[in-house]
Amino acid sequence: MIAIGMTYAAYVIAIKRLSIVFSSLMGWYLFKENIKERLIPILLMVTGMFLITLS
């Protein structure tokens, strides 16, 4: 949480939320979970992170 005081909060929160994406991808790869219903939210989160960093 020290990182929030050092940079813009939106950047830190966006990167922090990407852990959900990585855990979903690891679940699909390691445990062969079904990722079809999670694909659209994952793409929305990654797109949002890129839009925040480009702004």
pLDDT of residue 31: 92
Cut 0.85: pTM above it: no
Maximal CA-CA distance, the chain: 38
Domain count, the chain: 1
Helix, strand, coil percent values for the chain (each to nearest 5) = 85, 0, 15
The DSSP 8-state label assigned to residue 7 in this structure reads S
Q: CB–CB of 42/24 below 8 Å?
A: yes
Residue ranges making up the domain that contains 22? 2-54
pLDDT of residue 1: 59
Q: From its phi and psi, is residue 32 left (phi > 0), alpha (psi between -120 and 50) or beta? A: left
20-42 residue pLDDT tens = 888 888 999 999 988 888 889 88
Mean pLDDT of all residues in 37-49? 87
